[in-house]
Amino acid sequence: MQASNTETQTPAPASVQRQAEAPLYTPPADIFECGDGYRVYLDVPGARLGDVDVTYAKETLTVHARVKPRRASGQEYLAREYGVGDFQRSFNVTAPIDGAGIRAELKNGELSLFVPKAESAKTRKIAIKAQ
Amino acid sequence: MARILDLFGPVALFGNEPEELIETVSTAPREEAYPAMNAWEADDKVYVEAELPGMMADEVDVRVTGAELRLSGNRKAPNFAGGSQVRQERSCGEFSRTITLPWDIDSLSVSAALSDGILTITMSKAERCKCRKIEVRNA
């Protein structure tokens, strides 16, 4: 893709094509359930703040983290045990949740999501009154 | 992972078949030795990189002896008291891995930096292992 593209040209197809060719990796996840929601932890090493998109639509929670190459392309690997590229993963959320209340934090390449349950699904402690 | 989810049956948040929505390819094998490492060479320097998401610099130990590089640490389990775990795919706990490089390393040249969950170790080859250009004289 040329850096000199102007907006009147069509950089979009090139960009789309480049994304399609780039490898996408599935980040491993840990999920915890508690009374008021779910904690989701995803490993996205190499992703920085601003490189991570979290979206929720149609009962699907999607995380996309862009990861830039860290090695000059001309350098040969002595050992290559993992690939470097964007992370993406989608979850089908079947439980009632409050999509607008989802919060996300990124720290040291670890993404933490809090997915609150819908009010109707939250665990409620019922106070017992003495007679 | 499916087994863990099955324990929780249909109440599990993310359903029994969440993978169908993944639009992606699978990862390279990541769990054979932990952590997985990439290494490359450029201009007499050797770079070794490992993914250590969620870790802080003081939780990682890097040692170099001769051509051996040892990387160890302890990745803490996510502390979430009061919750029940419905999915566990990430590994945690103590790890240690030693790799042997093709050359001896000048141990004083080694530096290591941890940024965004990526550990990068930069090293120089020992002087006697570096490539030297020998001037050829007319005799």
Q: Which residue range(s) make up the domain with A56?
A: 24-70+81-119
Q: pLDDT digits over A60-94, tens only?
A: 999 999 999 887 777 788 888 999 999 999 999 88
Instruction: Let me know if residue A46 belongs to a domain.
Output: yes
Instruction: Let me know if residue A114 belongs to a domain.
Output: yes
CB contact under 8 A, A34 and B83: yes
Rounded to whole angstroms, the Cα distance separating B41 from A68 reads 19
Instruction: Let me know if residue A86 belongs to a domain.
Output: yes
Q: Among the CATH numbers 2.60.40.790, 3.30.1330.20, 3.40.50.2000, 1.20.120.420, which is that of B33-76+92-130?
A: 2.60.40.790
Lowest pLDDT segment from A69-73, B3-7, B102-106: B3-7
DSSP-assigned states of every residue in A12-44: HHHHHHHHHHS-EE---EEEEEETTEEEEEEE-
Instruction: Let me know if residue A12 belongs to a domain.
Output: no
Give yes or no for a contact between A28 and A88, defined as CB atoms under 8 angstroms apart.
Answer: no
The domain spanning residue A103 has which CATH number?
2.60.40.790
A25 exposure class (CB count in 10 Å sphere: 0-12, 13-18, 19+): buried
Instruction: Let me know if residue A104 belongs to a domain.
Output: yes
Q: What is the ipTM of this complex?
A: 0.75
β-partners of residue B135 are: none
Q: Give the pLDDT score at B14.
A: 41
Instruction: Let me know if residue A76 belongs to a domain.
Output: no
Rounded to whole angstroms, the Cα distance separating A102 from A118 reads 11
Rounded to whole angstroms, the Cα distance separating B112 from B73 reads 14
Closest CA in chain A for residue B44? A75
Residue B105: CA count within 13 A, CB half-sphere: 26
Instruction: Let me know if residue A128 belongs to a domain.
Output: no
CB contact under 8 A, A95 and B49: no
Instruction: Let me know if residue A40 belongs to a domain.
Output: yes
Which pair of tokens denotes residue A25? 């990796």
Q: Is the pLDDT assigned to residue B118 strictly greater than 80?
A: yes
Find the helix or strand (DSSP H, E) in which A88 lies: strand A86-92
- State which amino acid sits at residue A100: A
Number of folded domains in chain A?
Answer: 1
Residues of A with Cβ-Cβ distance to B89 under 8 angstroms? 28-30
